Amino acid sequence: MKTIAALCLLVLVAAACSPAIPADEYHSILIPTYDPAATTFSLPTAIPTPAPLPTTAFDPPWPLPHSDDFSDPASGWETGSWERGSVEYADGKYRVTALGDAWFMWGEPYRKLSDAVMEVDAAQVTGPESNNTGYGFFCRHNLTEDSSAGYALLISGDGYYSIQKSTGGDYQFLLEWIQSDAILSPPAVNRLRAECVGSTLRLYANGELLTEVTDPDFPEGDIALVAISFEPQPVKVEFDNLKVSEP
C-alpha cells in the first residue's frame, strides 16, 4: 500500500513527505481542521511540496457486479500498517484505522473503474468523544508521479456529509458540510451508497439521497474505503458487505 503525507473530512491535500521515508511508505494525508459548527475548513499555514508518487498500477477490473463480505483476507484489498494508521481484514470486516490529528487513511483494491455504483455497511466502532471524524468512499482515485486525484464522498461521525475533489496538492468542496438526520450516530451501521456516473456524483445514507453534484474532471480510477479523525484520538471504522455494480 502506498501512502501520501499530505480532505477531508475529506479530500486529499498534500503535506510533507519526510525525506527519510520513501514515498511508497505513505498512505495517509494531512487534511484541514473540521469545524462542524461552521462547516468550514482551515488549511494548514504551510503545505510543503510532496515527494513524487509512483503511478498507480491497476489489476484487471472486476466483472460487475462484484461483492465482498471481507470474510476472505485474500479477496484483494490492500493491508498494512503505517505511521498514521492501518488497513486490515479483521473479524470478517475491512477495518480502516486513522491515528488522529487529521491524517486520512484509506485502503483500495487497485482496480480501475469508470462508471460505478458502490454500496457498503460502515460503522465507526471507536473514535473521539466528539465524533469529529469522517468515513466513506473515494471514487476515481489515481496516484501519479506528482499528485493524487479523485473524489471523496463522506459522512462524519457527528452527522454531516460532504463531497470534495482532490487535484494533487489542492482540493475544493463540490459540496460543503451539511448535517443530515439520515446519518446514524456511532456505533450504529450506516449503509452508504456512492454513484460515480459520467460527471454526476451522488451520495446516499440508509436509502436517502443526501446530495448530487457534477464534475467532469476525472473519468476513471480506483475506489477506496477511508477514515479520518480530526482529533488527537484515533478512529476505527469497519466496512462490510461491499457491492460494486454498473449504473
Residue 15, domain member (yes or no): no
Query: Higher pLDDT residue, 18 or 133?
Result: 133
Lowest mean pLDDT of 60-64, 198-202, 230-234, name the range: 60-64
Residue 38: the pLDDT is 40
Buried b (16+ CB within 10 A) or exposed e, 30-52: bbbebebeeeebeeeeebeebbe
Number of domains present in the structure of the chain: 1
pTM summary value:
0.77
Listed in sequence order, the residues at least 6 apart from 46 whose beta carbon sits closer than 8 Å to its beta carbon are: none
Residue 62 belongs to some domain of the structure:
yes
Q: What residues are paired with 96 via a beta bridge?
A: 87, 237
Report pLDDT for 144.
Answer: 66
Rounded Cα distance, 148 and 13, in Å: 8
C-alpha count within 13 angstroms, C-beta hemisphere, residue 34: 36
Instruction: Please say whether the beta carbons of 164 and 177 come within 8 A.
Output: no
Task: Taking residues 71-93, report their average pLDDT.
Answer: 95
Asked if residue 14 belongs to a domain, the reply is no
Question: In the chain, pLDDT over 70 holds for what percent of residues?
Answer: 72
Q: What is the DSSP letter of 24?
A: G
pLDDT at 220: 93
d(CA 12, CA 151): 9
16: in domain: no
Structural domain containing residue 42: 23-245
Residue 11 inside a domain? The answer is no
- How far, in whole angstroms, is CA 229 from its chain's centroid? 12
**Cα torsion 88, 89, 91, 93: sign:** positive
DSSP string, 81-108: EETTEEEEEETTEEEEEE-SSSEEEEE-
- pLDDT, tens digit, 9 for 90 and up, residues 44-56: 333 333 333 444 5
Amino acid letter at 83? E
CATH code, 225 = 2.60.120.560
The confidence score (pLDDT) of residue 85 equals 95
104 domain-assigned = yes
- Has residue 8 been placed in a domain? no
pLDDT (0 to 100) of residue 205: 98
Q: Which three cell numbers stand for residue 117?
A: 455504483
Q: Is residue 63 part of a domain?
A: yes
